[in-house]
């Protein structure tokens, strides 16, 4: 059996530089009771967990091969269970802060952040069904629990700063105030039309945070579609309180807001939308011309790419833990690994003199998976800048044409058994 030093050397690779043992020990101080000496110590378990997610949330049997350690699946799950959720949250925040300090780029003097909602699924257990629920179109016993995920990204680097998790049937705005503490006065938040309500604009203005959202279609009357392309308008406080906002917070909102609406035409081939109307608290047309706001809002699409890397490239789309606490730990480690890849991209971008987002996320992930300890960071793949690229939303490979499960599996299995006996 390898010694602890050899095991750490083998499993952590270059993670040892980004997540050193001293950091883990410092974050665990006071969070866990003293335990006997184990093969799966807290530091080894943490690096194993990071390594597991780094390799696509691989199976425990594969993780044993990668690490060279001998342990059972039950022992590994118990070792992860002994580590509190607060520790993984502190680890994620420490890694995130280490990436944020490497970038100070701004847009016209403002730090820019992107926000959007998404979802992920998990095993079908009673505890997770009760906590998160499942899509309404799925019959009982035929679907999986799905959680709503709201994420805040740094626009320049793609670093994931904070997430909020709730039941599947949760509107994006329900958890938006939980992400606002990451923003400070003068920051700029860019998001789609789901966030362009009066209440959210008022909350942003109260914190001194500027906003650039796509205007909600319910506010776009015929006069606003045909009037001046750049004008200031007054939004009035709705009579009914939004369901996601507390009564005291709603009462504290102002009765009206003066915002700016900017309408511009999209003439680029392949774009579905022809006219876009933005609502923003940046009311100065001299300092923030409409063309600049249009180019800024185009960057909002980057959040879709960030979520795709998180859910598809890394594998957050489907989690494996069967308890609420386990799901939260798994999610936090996914975010930690995602930001570790972003840190590699930022360092490579500084060396290669390109923007961080030009570095290939997949190439940085592959290097982080296989890099030996203290291995020098090589030149990573730089993605081409293709702003006019047009690709149809179609699939060439056909999936298997199995019908969707509309009845619980035990019912279908019993039916197959009856058919076999009848034959």
Residues 256-286 pLDDT 10s: 999 999 999 887 665 666 788 999 999 999 9
Q: What is the pLDDT of residue 3?
A: 42
Residue 108 and residue 72 share a domain? no
Determine, yes or no, domain membership for 390.
Answer: no
| Helix/strand/coil (H/E/C) assignment for every residue in 88-123 | HHHHHHHHHHHHHCCCCCCECCECEEEEEEEEEECC
- 116 and 214: one domain? yes
Name the pLDDT band for 104 (thresholds 50, 70, 90): low
Place 14 in a pLDDT band, splitting at 50, 70 and 90: low
Can you give the residue range of the structural domain that contains 119?
Answer: 94-306
Helix (H) or strand (E) holding 214: strand 210-214
Q: What percent of the chain has pLDDT over 70?
A: 89
Q: Are residues 128 and 79 in the same domain?
A: no
Look at residues 274, 306, 338 and tell me which one is the last residue of a structural domain. Answer: 306
Provide the mean pLDDT of the chain.
Answer: 87
In a domain, 313, yes or no: no
- The answer to whether residues 216 and 101 belong to one domain is yes
Q: Are 74 and 107 part of one and the same domain?
A: no
**188 in a domain, yes or no?**
yes
Predicted pLDDT of residue 385: 82
pLDDT (average), residues 381-395: 81
Beta strand segments in 215-254, E: 230-236
The structural domain count of the chain equals 2
- What gap in Å lies between CA 216 and CA 314, rounded to an integer? 32
Closest CA to 2 of 75, 66, 77: 66
Inside any domain, residue 407: no
Whether 100 and 234 map to the same domain: the answer is yes
In a domain, 392, yes or no: no
CA atoms within 13 A on the CB side of 346: 21
**Cα–Cα distances in Å, from 124 out to 100, 147, 333?**
36, 12, 21
CA atoms of 171 and 199, how far apart (whole Å): 14
d(CA 408, CA 138) in angstroms, rounded, equals 11
Tell me, yes or no, whether 144 and 249 share the same domain.
yes
Predicted local distance difference test score (pLDDT) of residue 8: 46
Chain segment 231-253, per-residue pLDDT in tens? 999 999 999 999 889 899 999 99
Closest by CA position to 209, among listed 246, 235, 176, 234? 176
d(CA 212, CA 189): 6
Alpha-carbon Rg for the chain in angstroms: 24
Distance CA 269, CA 390 (A): 7
Residue 180 within a domain: yes
- 170 and 51 in a common domain: no
Are residues 352 and 278 both part of a single domain? no
Asked whether residue 417 is domain-assigned, the answer is no
**Mean pLDDT, rounded, for 345-367:** 94
When pLDDT is cut at 50, 70 and 90, the band that residue 290 belongs to is very high
CA end-to-end span of the chain, whole Å? 54
Threshold 0.85, pTM exceeds: yes
What is the average per-residue pLDDT within 161-178?
93
* Interacting residues of 234 by C-beta distance below 8 A, sequence separation 6+: 256, 257, 258, 259
In a domain, 419, yes or no: no
| Same domain, residue pair 60 and 131 | no
50 and 89 both lie in a single domain: yes
83 and 107 both lie in a single domain: no
Higher pLDDT, 65 or 333: 333
- Which position has the higher pLDDT, 388 or 158? 158
């Amino acid at each position: 059996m390898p010694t602890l030093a050899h095991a750490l050397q083998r499993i952590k690779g270059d993670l040892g530089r980004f997540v050193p043992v001293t950091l883990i020990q410092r974050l665990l101080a006071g969070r866990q009771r003293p335990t006997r000496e184990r093969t799966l110590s807290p530091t080894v378990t943490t690096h194993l967990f990071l390594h597991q997610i780094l390799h696509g949330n691989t199976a425990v049997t594969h993780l044993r091969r990668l690490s060279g350690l001998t342990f059972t699946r039950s022992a590994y799950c118990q070792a992860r269970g002994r580590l509190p959720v607060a520790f993984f949250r502190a680890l994620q925040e420490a890694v995130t802060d280490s990436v944020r300090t490497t970038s100070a780029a701004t847009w016209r003097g403002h730090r820019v952040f992107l926000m959007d909602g998404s979802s992920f699924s998990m095993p079908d257990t009673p505890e997770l069904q009760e906590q998160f629920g499942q899509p309404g179109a799925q019959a009982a016993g035929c679907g999986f629990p799905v959680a709503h995920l709201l994420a805040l990204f740094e626009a320049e680097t793609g670093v994931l700063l904070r997430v909020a998790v709730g039941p599947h049937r949760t509107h994006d705005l329900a958890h938006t105030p939980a992400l606002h503490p990451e923003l400070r006065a003068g920051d700029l938040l860019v998001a789609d039309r789901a966030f362009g309500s009066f209440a959210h604009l008022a909350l942003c203005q109260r914190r001194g945070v500027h906003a650039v959202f796509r205007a909600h279609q319910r506010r776009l009357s015929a006069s606003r579609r045909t009037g001046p392309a750049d004008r200031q308008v007054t939004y009035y406080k709705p009579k009914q309180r939004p369901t996601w906002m507390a009564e005291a917070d709603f009462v504290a909102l102002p009765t009206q807001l003066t915002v700016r609406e900017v309408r511009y035409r999209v003439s680029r081939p392949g774009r579905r939308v022809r006219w876009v109307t933005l609502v923003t608290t940046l009311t100065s047309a001299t300092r923030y011309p409409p063309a600049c706001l249009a180019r800024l809002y185009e960057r909002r699409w980057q959040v879709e790419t960030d979520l795709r890397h998180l859910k598809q490239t890394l594998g957050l789309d489907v989690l494996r833990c069967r308890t609420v606490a386990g799901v939260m730990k798994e999610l936090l480690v996914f975010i930690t690994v995602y930001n570790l890849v972003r840190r590699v991209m930022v360092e490579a971008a500084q060396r290669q003199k390109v923007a961080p987002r030009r570095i290939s996320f997949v190439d940085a992930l592959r290097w982080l998976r296989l890099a030996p300890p203290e291995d020098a960071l090589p030149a990573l793949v730089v993605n081409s800048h293709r702003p006019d690229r047009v690709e149809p939303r179609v699939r060439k490979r056909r999936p298997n044409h199995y019908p969707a499960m509309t009845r619980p599996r035990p019912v279908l299995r019993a039916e197959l058994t009856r058919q076999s006996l009848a034959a």
